[in-house]
Amino acid sequence: MSDSEQRQGAAVDLDAEIVNLTGGEIGTVEADMVRIHQGGARRVVASDVGIRAGGAGLVTAETAGMQFSAAVGVRGDVVSLDRSAAAVVLADSVRMDHARSGITVAQRVNMDGGSTVFLLSGNVQGPVHTTFDTRGSLLFGLVAGATAGLLLLAGRLLRRG
């Protein structure tokens, strides 16, 4: 990377076996193992991802662990959020320790002191603070869909008349 790219903060893309990023940012990284400390990545695809005091746009991994970090989306087999936040979490198993998420969809969720707005899960352990649980999420979707349909229909009728 040239000096001008470093000064402008341009993110680069990287494909490697093991990536350790301390500080700075990276565009897309694909590797077997990725560790980010006080840095960020737009997109991470790896078997094993660990982010501490950092951030990411989209994380796709078999195992993803985040501590004091944030991500827009995390998708994986096993996802662990420790004092972290994610807008969307999709996984087979999720552990949230004092973490926050907007939408969590998982087969199993273990939560300790965390919260999520929408939770869709077959098995939930621990105290969970949700705005909408599975039943509430389905009801919200039905009502929101029906409302949107009625508004679109009313808009079409008003334009014709």
Phi, psi at 16, each rounded to 5°: -155, 175
The reported pTM is 0.76
Instruction: Tell me what percent of the chain is helix, strand and coil, each rounded to the nearest 5.
Output: 20, 65, 15
Q: Which of 62-71, 95-104, 111-120 has the lowest mean pLDDT?
A: 111-120
User: Cβ(23)–Cβ(35) under 8 Å?
Assistant: no
Q: At 161, is the pLDDT very low, low, confident or very high (cuts 50, 70, 90)?
A: low
Q: Which of 34-43, 59-68, 128-137 has the lowest mean pLDDT?
A: 128-137
Q: Please give the residue that has the higher pLDDT: either 138 or 120.
A: 120
User: Cβ(59)–Cβ(51) under 8 Å?
Assistant: yes
- The pLDDT value recorded for residue 71 is 97
User: Could you give the CA distance from residue 86 to residue 139 in angstroms, rounded to a whole number?
Assistant: 23
- The pLDDT value recorded for residue 38 is 95
- The pLDDT value recorded for residue 143 is 85
- The pLDDT value recorded for residue 130 is 75
- The pLDDT value recorded for residue 13 is 79
pLDDT in tens, 31-56: 999 999 999 999 999 999 999 999 99
User: Cβ(28)–Cβ(43) under 8 Å?
Assistant: yes
User: Could you give the CA distance from residue 67 to residue 50 in angstroms, rounded to a whole number?
Assistant: 8
In this predicted structure, the answer to whether residue 4 has a pLDDT above a threshold of 50 is: no
Q: Is 145 helix (H, G, I), strand (E, B) or coil?
A: helix
Match 């001008």 to its residue by tokens.
4
Other C-beta atoms lying within 10 Å of the C-beta of residue 81: 28
The residues spanned by each domain of the chain are 3-133
Q: Is 69 helix (H, G, I), strand (E, B) or coil?
A: coil
What whole-number percentage of the chain has pLDDT above 90? 58
In this predicted structure, the answer to whether residue 121 has a pLDDT above a threshold of 50 is: yes
Residues pairing with 55 in the sheet: 40, 70
Q: Nearest-CA neighbor of 110 among 128, 129, 131, 95? A: 95
